[in-house]
Structure 1
Amino acid sequence: MKELYGPQLARLLHTAGEHSFRTLPFNSYAWDAEKAQYMYLFDYPPNTSDRQPKSLNDFILSSKLEPKYKLELKQRFFVAQTIARAIGAFHSDGWLHKSIRAHAVKFFFLPDGKTCDFGNPYLTDFEFSRPLAGVTRLIAQAVDLDHEVYRHPDRHGLPDTSFSRMHDIYSLGVVLLEIGLWQTARQVHDDVVKYELDGDAKALQPQQIKQAFLQDAKERLAHRMGTAYQEAAIACLDGDWDEFVGSRDFAQEFYKRVVLKVDIKAFIS
């Protein structure tokens, strides 16, 4: 069954220009026997330089040293809403992303090789994507904090629940928090370890990570991004989506709770 997902996803990504997935121009795909997963090859967007793209995570980390890479407020809202729309569209088409994080949001440079095109964020890292009705292998994940901080608490270690839209939405909430605070999830995690736990632990437990994110969303987001954006992030991190998961109303509810609220119009209204 797993082997069928690759060709299915390839066909979807090939026609992604007809959707709102914010994917790069699809080129081809291949099976990586060593990693036991499919690899997907994409082309650079048209009218961009061949310079290596940068991720959202890269820009957050480097903006103190290079202020030109610190996105303006309207740009942050645009990126947040664009990624939220992309995830909503992907889910509506019956797929789970499974690797949503700031590292998977890529920006390319204009032909001059110096100016970054912040108006066109792209969603990448589809290696583990699968259909909503597909089967998730419940295997232990390698411990990597840069990935762990984006995972729903139910998905740490050896998961006992199959991956669902709720888990993608949680990861999106972490990215919304990062955009709003302009701080990486790993930095938020490490600050809690350093200042609240006095460095007594190397890493937080899964529920502690979630609570740290929720606390920052409740205490720090509103005065930076407004209450609507704050509500969207909290809805992703801790929202009650159970009654909508298998419902036709899910897409509409996600649009209302998240996509509309990360629009800059909600901030200035």
Structure 2
Amino acid sequence: MPGATTSPSDIDEGVRTEAIYNNTSVWIEWKHPDPSGPPQYDGGMDPKIHARVRKLAALLSKNNRTVRFRAPFCRGYFIDQDEGRFGLVFEKPASVPPETAPTSLHTLIRAANTPGSTVEVPSLTDRITLMKILAETVERLHAVDWLHKGLRSTNILLFPKFPRKDSGGEDEEEMNYLAPYISGFDYSRPATSDDMTERPLENPAADIYRHPTVQHEGNREASLGGHRENYKPSFDIYSLGIVLLEIAHWKTIDQILSIDLESPRLRPKDTWAVRERLVGGGGGAGGEVVRGKRGGEETFEVRKELSGATVEGVVRACLEGPRAFGLDEGCDEKREVVAAGLQRAFGEGVVRKLASIKV
């Protein structure tokens, strides 16, 4: 996409890069095709992936849809031939100063748990409202047969409200938790697509948010027989459940479960077992998770007073999947009647329940 300029030192720092496009402040999100996919000997891109990126850019370039999906407006995309990747170009909200970069929900949560930090935990009202908005967004995305495939707190972006003065007269930024933007549509695809699911890159920090059957190949137990399921709506819902759990406690999932993602001792089974630790064996989710022992086994109990029984039930339903919504565990979510049933049950059991909470 001609006209977009970035700093060379920034371009390798991660999946999100600040840039200028036609004198407008934007950011670029990078999409790296699966390195295990079919080789492109001419130096080009896999046509199927290219087509998917083109459709995604079109989806996110229509104002009515970006509002519905809480997505930033997409100005288009380009191919970075040198690095073998696509770049999606996103516009910042008009109300945000050009020099203001987005901050991820993950960063804000971790900052609030850092000793000496001035970042505060948002009010319960703001947290519940944020949960409602995210659940509604997933519902709307699935309603047009699109899957996100990368829902996690690093891909939920926030901007500050108008700066205010602190007691010392210095500018103080207060985050606007009521206007989140959903980002990181790296591996999105139509829910009805019959293409082989594009595999996520190996990354424990991302795998910890994914349903165990779609984590990186190394994170699947032998009991799964090496089978990788195609991505489906209930996997997005699972990832949403992890994010809602984080918002309820205002701790990241690795902090909640005491998983050191930087440890050299970290093994694939540590992220693969997250779902079992949260919902298996009668454990709970949605309030403050407390490690304990029951019958010699480690369990996770819930202090419901932190977020209430409604939030606990919503999070548990998201993590449990189809059975919590009245469907068979192995149901074919591509079938129209099944997809419609899941969408309806998710709306009633998650979106409407969160909307009913009065704080």
Could you tell me the TM-score, scaled by structure 1's length?
A: 0.86
Match of 2:138, SS state, is helix
1:128 aligns with 2:187: yes
Whole-angstrom distance in 2 between the partners of 1:149 and 1:34: 31
**Cα gap change, 1:170 to 1:221, in 2 (>3 Å):** farther
Measure the CA separation in 2 of the matches of 1:193 and 1:43: 35
CA contact (8 A) 2:207 2:216 kept: no
Residue 117 (structure 1) shift = 1.8
User: Alignment partner of 1:173: what SS?
Assistant: helix
Give me the whole-angstrom Cα distance separating, in 2, the residues matched to 1:11 and 1:34.
Answer: 24
User: How many Å separate the matches in 2 of 1:35 and 1:97?
Assistant: 24
Change (3 A) 1:176 1:160: same
Counterpart among 22, 31, 39 of residue 87 in structure 2: 39
The 1:182–1:4 alpha-carbon spacing in structure 2 relative to 1, beyond 3 Å, is same
Structure 2 residue 301 is matched with structure 1 residue 209: no
Deviates more, 1:171-180 or 1:152-161: 152-161
Partner of 2:295: none
Q: What is the letter of the counterpart of residue 213 of structure 1?
A: L
Q: 1:252 matched to which residue of 2?
A: 344
- Residue 64 (structure 2) aligns with: 17
> Which of residues 197, 200, 206 is equivalent to 1:147?
206
Which residue is 1:171 aligned to? 239
> In 2, are the aligned partners of 1:101 and 1:150 still within 8 Å (CA)?
yes
1:103 matched to 2:154: yes
Does the CA contact (< 8 Å) of 1:20 and 1:86 recur in 2?
A: yes
Unaligned runs of 5+ in 1: none
Larger Cα-atom Rg:
2
**Residue aligning to 2:310:** 228
**2:20 matched to which residue of 1?**
none
Contact conserved, 2:62 with 2:73, CA < 8 A, in 1?
A: no
Q: Which secondary structure state, in structure 2, belongs to the residue aligned with residue 266 of structure 1?
A: coil
TM-superposed deviation, 1:147: 0.5
Give secondary structure in 1 for the equivalent of 2:77.
Answer: strand
Offset at residue 116 of structure 1 (A): 2.0
Distance 2:210 2:82 in 1: 24
Higher strand share: 2
Indicate the structure whose relative CO is greater, using CA pairs within 8 Å and at least 6 residues apart: 1
The verdict on how the C-alpha distance between 1:193 and 1:37 changes in structure 2, with shifts beyond 3 A counting, is closer
**Percent of paired sites with the same residue:** 23
CA RMSD, aligned part only? Answer: 2.7
Unaligned runs of 5+ in 2: 1-47, 164-170, 218-226, 287-300
| Structure 1 residue ranges (4+ consecutive) displaced by more than 6 angstroms after TM superposition | none
Which letter does structure 1 place at the counterpart of 2:213?
D
What is the number of residues matched between the two proteins? 261
Residue 211 of structure 1 and its aligned partner are, at CA, apart by 2.1
1:161-208: CA deviations, max 9, x gaps?
11111111111111011011111012123x1679xxxx9952444552
1:251–1:136 distance in 2 versus 1, CA, 3 Å: same
Which secondary structure does the structure 2 equivalent of 1:249 belong to? Answer: helix
User: What's the offset of the Cα at 1:84?
Assistant: 1.0
Q: Which residue of 2 aligns with 1:115?
A: 174
* Conserved? CA contact 2:311–2:354, under 8 Å: yes
